[in-house]
Amino acid sequence: MEVTFKIKRFNPETDTEPYWQEYQVDVEPKERVLDALLHIKRTMDGTLTLRFSCAHGVCGSDGMVINGINRLACQILMQDLPTGPVKIEPLKGFQVIKDLIVDFDPFFDHLETVKPYLINDELPPSRERQQSVKERDRFDETTKCILCGICTTACPSFWANGEYLGPAAFVNAHRFIFDSRDKGAQERLEILNDKDGVWRCHTIFNCTDACPREINVTQAIAELKNAITFQQF
Amino acid sequence: MVHKYDVVIVGAGGAGLRAALEASRTADVAVLSKLYPVRSHTGAAQGGISASLGNLEEDRWDWHMYDTVKGSDYLGDQDAIEILTRDAVDAIIEMEHFGLPFSRTEDGKIAQRPFGGHTSNFGEKAVRRACYSADRTGHMILHTLFEQCMKQNVRFYNEFHVADLIMDGDVCKGVVAIEIKTGEVHVFQAKAVLFATGGYGRAFKITSNAHAYTGDGMAIVFRRGIPLEDMEFVQFHPTGLWRLGVLVTEGARGEGGILRNNDGERFMERYAPSIKDLAPRDMVSRAIYDEVRAGRGINGQDYVHLDLTHLDPDQLEEKLPDVLFFARTYLGVNPLVEPIPVQPTCHYAMGGIPTNVDGQVVGDADNTPVPGLYAAGETACVSVHGANRLGTNSLLDLIVFGRRAGKHIAEFVRDVDYTDLPEDPDHTVRDRIRRIKESEGTESMEEIRTELRNNMMDNVSVYRSEESLTKMKDILADLQSRYQHIAVMDKGALFNTDVLDALELGYLLEFSTAMVESALARQESRGAHYREDFQDRDDVNFLKHTLAFLKEDGSIELDYKPVSITRFQPKERKY
């Protein structure tokens, strides 16, 4: 089927302003949006620039705004889009480097702020630490995060304030705070209780709606707020 | 710009990160990746990582060793396999201590499941050896290692595309990398370099591998005179989603999934009577090809069914959530009520850059180390996988040999000083980029890439013959010459992925040539290398590793080296 792609382009080497460029593409209904974009790049316009790698939603490279919604281009099939032109834009809230490429360095800086690694200075046993199935389940949801940035760049609070740590950082804080093996909850919760922490979340649910791993991000943030308020984790 | 580090690690997947974690305890380390580390393909591994923990039933490391040797069709080096399987327990416990969220048994231990080719008591029956975290084991390993590197303040250069190795005579002195964001060419001077750049599945039409898997490390060192070992051994995973190649873990069969042909028959009973659907990948992939050739593919087409419908839906949702999601998303199939269409998909490079058990690259048939050059993970060939890798052993390879390489490299750089770089070390890369940008050729990269991938699939995949390989050799020669006349549209400096695409296409063509030459010369069938014109294994003439060298004139010269055989003498491989 013939589809029109309207892609937001910007190359700082040659452009002063972003602009929209249209491409007519013949696609199969079962093709991914990523396949169509690669078809454009590889047969029509080699200057079109985007990130991609695994092509099945596990590496988190190809986040972009598709028809106004944050998506991974490899996770959306052409047949799942409404008829009419497909509008493609870079993720919002990060600086655009070129076309659909945004600067992810601030995203990873924010992630690092919440100490997203196991903190436990006790000498471990010679075998694995014990963890019950129930304890493991407690944080299963947030282990799924692939750090694609889709939630953070869907968040109006983040658009308004780039210093806001954002949902992805919270998800990864949650993953450790509720891990029975971890001892760093207190120090992380202090970070999350700061002015750029969880209280800037206004439960808009954009993050949860957008998450390609179907993580209930808003729920996780609510649990962090509770943990701060009631000192329970 | 010239940077100086004791150690430069190229690639930030499981092997690179594990090595970085080890080496950066004492040495000054930089990790260069053409992606962000968490985008690495380790994250796509699903089903598990093996160790004889014995958490659910008796298991022993020497059973694991035997299975690995037998799985390798006796081409794996047994000294290395002994290290792999002995160190497995400790390496996995260490990952748990790093915070890896393994699934758990009822009594709180690391959960384990059966996997292809893993047995107890030297082949008696399937054993639960694969430690897992649902079907996201690779994701958890990648993230856990990245977290630990973050904690240890490892220095990352993200989105730096390494394009050349700096050699001075026989000594490795660093790498040349393109900073993708700016297009600037950087020189990284180092006392030692470790390549951990993964595999090459993108040379084949159907693959489970990421787009980034273009064999960069292999091609780069190959061009600098380092041989590639056992390149003819390419693993096709039996269960890729039909037409897409997206992986469906062997864990699906470990949990009880059954392969069925168009008659609904459980055909693996005919091919591997004892362990059936859990036979090693090379055998199952061949069986699927045979079924398809015999007209028993589904509706006469080139796929079979993976049937999970008899299994408990709650268990499936818990243990294989991603697999269910992929089948639903990409094929519109709900595996709880209907079978999944699957076909063999190019999955793993058994061969690669030859190393010893400390990750040192060895440059000849006498295993002479190349000073300062290391490799680990899929890009390396230790060889623990021989002619066919067992499922779960790749993740294990990353952490066991990543750690060993990291340890050795840290000791190595402590005892040596920096030496001068050769003059103008980055001119090759600069010239190459300039040539690509200035070319007014008319050849299309996409056409070359598509022809390569289609023809490799037809001629060099599960079945090969002198006819198919010779044909491919000619096709490659044609593609190589056309590649000299490609042109790119993007002539800019910033984030020029058009130029990177061109470089990667060059890598694909380069190592594919080594693959075809190695396969052509191996006139026997062993593991994943099946020759229709030489259907038996030939231990008299071919129980040896292939080494392919690139000569100055562009031709390939083959040499061979012996296999390390310690505990298990070769015998017929039956399951």
Residues with Cβ within 8 Å of residue B146, at least 6 apart in sequence: B12, B17, B37, B38
Residues B26 and B411: their CA atoms lie apart, in Å, by 9
Q: Which of B281, B403, B453, B482 is catalytic?
A: B281
Instruction: Give the mutation candidate from B197, B326, B329, B347 for the A interface (greatest A CB count, under 10 A).
Output: B329
Asked if residue B146 lies in contact with residue B38, where contact means CB atoms within 8 angstroms, the answer is: yes
Find how far residue B221's CA is from the centre of its chain. Answer: 16
SS3 (DSSP) at B562 = strand
- The whole-number average pLDDT for the span A53-70 is 98
Region for B134 from its dihedrals, namely left if φ exceeds 0, alpha if ψ lies in -120 to 50, beta otherwise? left
Assess whether pLDDT exceeds 90 at residue A231. Answer: no
Give A222→chain B minimum CA distance, Å. 22
SS3 (DSSP) at A121 = coil
DSSP symbols for B77-96:
-HHHHHHHHHHHHHHHHHHH
Q: What is the pLDDT of residue B331?
A: 97
Q: What is the pLDDT of residue B259?
A: 98
CB contact under 8 A, A143 and B133: yes
Residues B110 and B92: their CA atoms lie apart, in Å, by 10
Instruction: Give the mutation candidate from A37, A39, A43, A53 for the B interface (greatest B CB count, under 10 A).
Output: A53
Residues A226 and B440: their CA atoms lie apart, in Å, by 63
For chain B, state the CA radius of gyration: 22
Residues B362-393: pLDDT tens digits? Answer: 999 999 999 999 999 999 999 999 999 999 99
Assess whether pLDDT exceeds 90 at residue A233. Answer: no
Q: What is the pLDDT of residue A184?
A: 97
Instruction: Give the mutation candidate from B49, B56, B89, B97 for the A interface (greatest A CB count, under 10 A).
Output: B97
Number of other CB atoms surrounding residue B61 within 10 Å: 17
Name the pTM for this structure: 0.98
Asked if residue A220 lies in contact with residue A143, where contact means CB atoms within 8 angstroms, the answer is: no
SS3 (DSSP) at B327 = helix
Q: In sequence order, what are the beta bridge partners of B544?
A: B562
The span from the first CA to the last CA of chain A, in angstroms, equals: 52
* Cα-based distances in Å from B388 to A108, A186, B49, B252, B398: 38, 48, 16, 20, 17
Q: Confirm whether B281 is a catalytic residue.
A: yes
Give B489→chain A minimum CA distance, Å. 5
Find how far residue B337's CA is from the centre of its chain. Answer: 33
The partner residue sitting opposite B494, judged by closest CB among A32, A97, A112, is: A97
Closest CA to B505 of B430, B425, B436, B561: B436
Calculate the dihedral angle through the C-alpha atoms of B509, B554, B382, B8, rounding to the nearest 10 degrees: -80
Residue B135: closest CA among chain A residues belongs to which residue?
A144
A75 contacts in B (CB within 8 Å)?
329
Paired tokens of A72: 């991974």
Answer positive or negative: Cα dihedral of B88, B93, B98, B100.
Answer: positive
Give B157→chain A minimum CA distance, Å. 11
| Burial group, residue B569, by CB count within 10 angstroms (0-12, 13-18, 19+) | exposed
The span from the first CA to the last CA of chain B, in angstroms, equals: 56
A46 contacts in B (CB within 8 Å)?
488-490, 498, 501
Vertex B105, ends B55 and A222: CA angle to 5°? 145
- The whole-number average pLDDT for the span A42-61 is 98
Residues A114-154: pLDDT tens digits? Answer: 999 999 999 999 999 999 999 999 999 999 999 999 999 99
What are the backbone dihedrals phi and psi of residue A96, each rounded to the nearest 5 degrees, phi first?
-80, 125
Q: What residues of chain B score a pLDDT lower than 50?
A: none
Q: Could you give the ipTM of this predicted complex?
A: 0.98
Residues B10-23: pLDDT tens digits? Answer: 999 999 999 999 99
The 3-class SS string of B189-203 reads EEEEEEECCCCCHHH
The partner residue sitting opposite A55, judged by closest CB among B143, B147, B210, is: B210
Residues A184-220: pLDDT tens digits? Answer: 999 999 999 999 999 999 999 999 999 999 999 999 9
